[in-house]
């Protein structure tokens, strides 16, 4: 068993599950989508992205691309949250919370693609 592959797979799947946990719930309710959970999702996704830099294969490039998309969307969600609470002064309205959750949904889709690619790569290696 390759420890590097285990850690790599762990962070990819953890990023997916944490993102799903943040995404799940009423789309307009900040109670269902805590800010600290978004922070953890961003950190784990960034760690998963860094781990993908070492892979020089074509599928590794696609894995990196999906991870960068997820990072971009999650950082955009955090920026919208920070702007709404700290700069605009209007706070977390249902519309803003829906935008934040929608951005995390895009990142969730990118994470799903990443996990599917990881499983496909594993199946191809077993043959």
Per-residue model confidence as pLDDT tens digits over 1-23: 788 889 989 999 999 999 999 99
Alpha helices by DSSP H, the chain: 3-23, 35-52, 58-82, 94-126
Tell me the pLDDT of the chain averaged across its residues.
92
pLDDT > 70 fraction of the chain, expressed in percent and rounded: 98
**pLDDT number for residue 127:** 65
The residue ranges of the chain whose pLDDT is under 70 are: 127
Report pTM: 0.91
Number of domains in the chain: 1
CB-based contacts of 9, cutoff 8 Å, min separation 6: 118
Domain that holds residue 7: 3-126
């Amino acid at each position: 068993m390759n420890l590097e592959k285990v850690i790599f797979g762990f962070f990819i799947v953890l990023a997916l599950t944490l993102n799903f946990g943040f995404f799940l719930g009423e789309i307009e309710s900040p109670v269902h989508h805590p800010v600290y959970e978004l922070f953890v999702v961003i950190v784990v996704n960034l760690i998963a992205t860094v781990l993908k830099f070492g892979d020089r294969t074509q599928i590794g490039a696609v894995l990196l691309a999906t991870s960068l998309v997820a990072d971009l969307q999650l950082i955009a969600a955090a920026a919208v949250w920070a702007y709404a609470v700290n700069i605009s002064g209007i706070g977390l309205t249902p519309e803003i919370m829906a935008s934040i959750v929608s951005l995390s949904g895009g990142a969730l889709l990118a994470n799903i693609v990443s996990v599917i690619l990881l499983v496909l790569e594993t199946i191809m290696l077993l043959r």
